[in-house]
Chains A and B, each alone.
Chain A
Amino acid sequence: MSDLSSLTISELQTGFRSGAFNPADAVRAIESRIESVDPQIQAYLARDFDSALAAAEKADVSLPLGGVPIGIKDVINVLGEQCTCGSKILAGYKAPYDATAISKLRAAGAIPFGRLNMDEFAMGSSTENSAYQITRNPWDTTRIPGGSSGGSAAAVAAREAFATLGSDTGGSIRQPAALCGVVGLKPSYGRVSRYGLVAFASSLDQIGPFARSTRDCAAMLNAIAGKDPRDSTSLDLPAEDFTAGLGRDLKGVKLGIPKEYFVDGMDIRIREKVEAAIRQCESLGAELVEVSLPHTEYAVGVYYIIATAEASANLARFDGVRYGHRAKNPTDLLDHYRRTREEGFGSEVKRRIILGTYVLSSGYYDAYYLRAQKVRTLIRRDFTNAFEKVDALICPTSPDLAFKIGERVNDPLRMYLADIFTIAANLAGICGISVPCGLVEEDGKQLPVGLQFLGKPLDETRLLGIADAYEQAGSQEILTRIP
């Protein structure tokens, strides 16, 4: 039998249903691939092959994701497994329940498997902020995989998983997908329940899939989407088949090119690949329209006020009382809190809690937080106006190729600017997807470039259809190449 680890979910299911191989074979293929490459890649923080094999033996392959093992970012609770969020403060924590996205994956027959590395509490763009290990980009192991869902992206690229779940607060699915040469989808805000996703910035966070095809991402979204009484921001919408728009061309599709996303200073090689992809979409029948999102330059500033403000409130729960790390021998309660949080949190998390506390503090609230919320309105309005003229936007996912490990760790602002093309989608609550659109040679290695499509709120079916049409024509060389 040839190596199963490189198959897509659709190919895997065809094999399961024809009896060519079974889910236990798939788990064993992933196991042997992880054993051989994860010592270099370091995508996984934990994995339990025995329980995955036990689940595979009982799997019902007639279900939509029957018997498919799915890797999980270590910020989403899976009953009985660790959920460290890449932080020392949650070392030893075992999830007492399943996140709704996990219950839904199980109901669709999937096997949640393994815990994937990430920037601590999803704060970062390189996965270097993990308290546990540095995940490496499979295309060049001296480089970062992107972040914060770097483990989820690297595992899919390195064939250590067929598909994974990540979370996207400012680009944490799309940017690592771009840098690792895989497909990553951020659903619209409210599409997927956040229950059981450890909160970073509650008005921006959304769970989404990574896979080696748009079709697989659509199948994953079919499984995890839907209203959940446990997340009051999840939306009650008619059931939808997100694969319904796949397999078409782009005739009659209007794609907007936001001029602010083609700025001086971005890597010219990325620009060339993205522009070539845009021409390819035109040749597939798309009509191209230049649009403007005039408040784009403010998105990073708005994001780092709103996201840190929300984080400072959300992370107040890590107080060393009910779970997680507690400082030894505190002199009093204040000392207990302060040393617990000093010892448990890493630098980036402390930086963001301090910034968020500052922008919410008396005397600065109006100047920073309220003003940022108002500019957020302007950013949303930019998208609403653009989507009156076009069906979706097409642009780069990241202004950078994967950068070297260590290159930006001491320059937080420069690290924040890596998210410049992804952040606005979270502020506006729209959906977005990154698909590979080219390889650029750097230091003798091939590095992937990501193409981003942004869709209207809750327009995932169309967004996935557009991404699939491009992917069939333009991404295959990268998606089928094992880095």
Chain B
Amino acid sequence: MSSPNLDVRDVARLARIELSDEEASTFQSQLGSVLEYVEQLGKLDVSQVEPTAHAAPVFNVFREDVAKLGLERAAVLANAPHAANNLVIVTKVIE
């Protein structure tokens, strides 16, 4: 089963995931079935219904704007895939 509008390769590009040909073809069919299943939501008239983003009744939670200490630099850098000179080394961004 394949959804006419879902192009798995195109969406994977948006999500920054490389896919093998085999994965792309398997996902295309599996996600096609899932999308077909969720089509059932189209049966309901929701024109007069407000959306729910969150189940808890809290909005705009503020705190005092006071600076606090974060994690120790060494603790953070210990998990970096590549670090040197107290910095995270990243892949070159500028051509």
The answer to whether A380 touches B40 (Cβ under 8 A) is no
- Knowing A96-B71, A97-B71, the reply to whether A190 touches B56 (Cβ < 8 A) is yes
* Min CB–CB distance B9 → chain A (angstroms): 10
Interface size on A, residues (CB 8 A): 70
CB pair A457–B55 under 8 Å, yes or no, is yes
Q: How would you classify the secondary structure of chain B's contact residues: helix, strand, loop or mixed?
A: loop
Q: Which of A162-170, A285-293, A315-323, A392-400 touches B? A: A315-323
CB distance from B82 to the nearest CB of A (A): 7
Q: How far is the CA of A351 from the CA of B52 in the complex (A)?
A: 25
Question: Which of A184-222 touch B at CB < 8 Å?
Answer: 189-190, 203-204
Interface of A is mostly: helix
Residues B41 and A235 in contact, CB atoms below 8 Å apart: no
Contacting pair B17 A338 (CB below 8 A): yes
Q: Is the CB of A232 within 8 A of B61?
A: yes
Q: CB distance A337 to B76 under 8 Å?
A: no
**One of B40, B56, B82 near A235 (C-beta < 8 A):** B56
CA A442 – CA B43 in complex, angstroms? 39
Knowing A229-B63, A232-B58, A376-B51 touch, does A357 contact B5 (C-beta < 8 A)?
A: no
**Closest B residue to A338 using CB positions:** B18
**Given A203-B55, A301-B37, A374-B46, does the pair A341, B14 have CB atoms closer than 8 Å?**
no
- Total contacts A to B, CB within 8 angstroms? 165
For window 41-85 of chain B, which residues contact chain A by CB distance below 8 Å? 41-42, 44, 46, 49-56, 58, 61, 63, 71-72, 75-76, 78-82
Q: Decide: B54 and A312 in contact? CB cutoff 8 A.
A: no
Contact status A96-B56, CB under 8 Å = no
Distance between Cα atoms of A93 and B78 in the complex (Å):
9
A417 CB, nearest partner CB in chain B, Å? 9
Cα distance A301–B35 in the bound complex, in angstroms: 9
Question: Nearest Cβ distance between residue A11 and chain B, in whole angstroms?
Answer: 35
**A327-350 contacts to B (CB < 8 Å):** 330, 332-334, 336-339, 341-342, 345, 347, 350
Most chain A beta-carbon contacts within 10 A, residue among B31, B80, B81, B91: B91
Interfacial chain A residues near B61, Cβ < 8 Å: 232-233
Asked if A332 and B16 sit within 8 Å, CB to CB, the answer is no
A-B pairs, top 8 by smallest CB distance, nearest first, are A429-B55, A373-B51, A326-B81, A232-B61, A342-B18, A323-B79, A374-B46, A190-B56
A-B contact pairs, 13 of them (CB 8 A): A189-B54, A189-B56, A190-B56, A300-B37, A321-B88, A332-B91, A338-B18, A347-B26, A354-B8, A354-B11, A354-B15, A413-B34, A457-B55
A: residues with CB less than 8 A from B are 93-94, 96-97, 189-190, 203-204, 229, 232-233, 235, 295, 297-298, 300-302, 304-305, 312, 316, 319-326, 330, 332-334, 336-339, 341-342, 345, 347, 350-351, 353-355, 357-358, 361, 364, 368, 370-378, 380, 412-413, 416, 426-429, 457
